[in-house]
Amino acid sequence: MENDKRENLYVDPDAGKVSVRRYTADWLGLKTTAAGTEESYERIMRLHVLPQLGKKTISQVTARTWRSCTHAGAGRARSPTR
C-alpha cells in the first residue's frame, strides 16, 4: 500500500462511498471560477445531474449511467451507433 501511495496508484477504499450530491457540493465549493461559470455549473448539476444521480454513490456511477443522465437532461435522445 505504501508503494502504491508513492506511485500515486493508491485508491482509498472509502472514496467511492460518498454520494454524488455530497461530492458535487464539495466540488462546487472548491471551484474558483467566474461567477457566471459557477452559476452554470450549479444549474447543470441541480437540473440535470442531481435529480437522477444525487442519491447514488460515486462508485455506483458508470459511464453508461452518466451518459444516460447527461443525454436525458439535455433533452436529446441518444442517436444509434452505426
Task: Give per-residue pLDDT as tens, 31-53.
Answer: 788 889 999 999 999 998 999 99
* Neighbouring C-beta atoms of residue 3, cutoff 10 Å: 8
62-76 per-position pLDDT tens digit: 999 888 877 765 554
Asked if residue 69 lies in contact with residue 52, where contact means CB atoms within 8 angstroms, the answer is yes
User: Which residues, listed in sequence order, are joined to residue 57 by a DSSP beta bridge?
Assistant: 19
In angstroms, what CA-CA distances link 79 with 53, 67, 71? Answer: 22, 12, 10
Tell me the whole-structure pTM to 2 decimals.
0.66
User: What residue spans define the domains of the chain?
Assistant: 15-73
SS3 46: helix
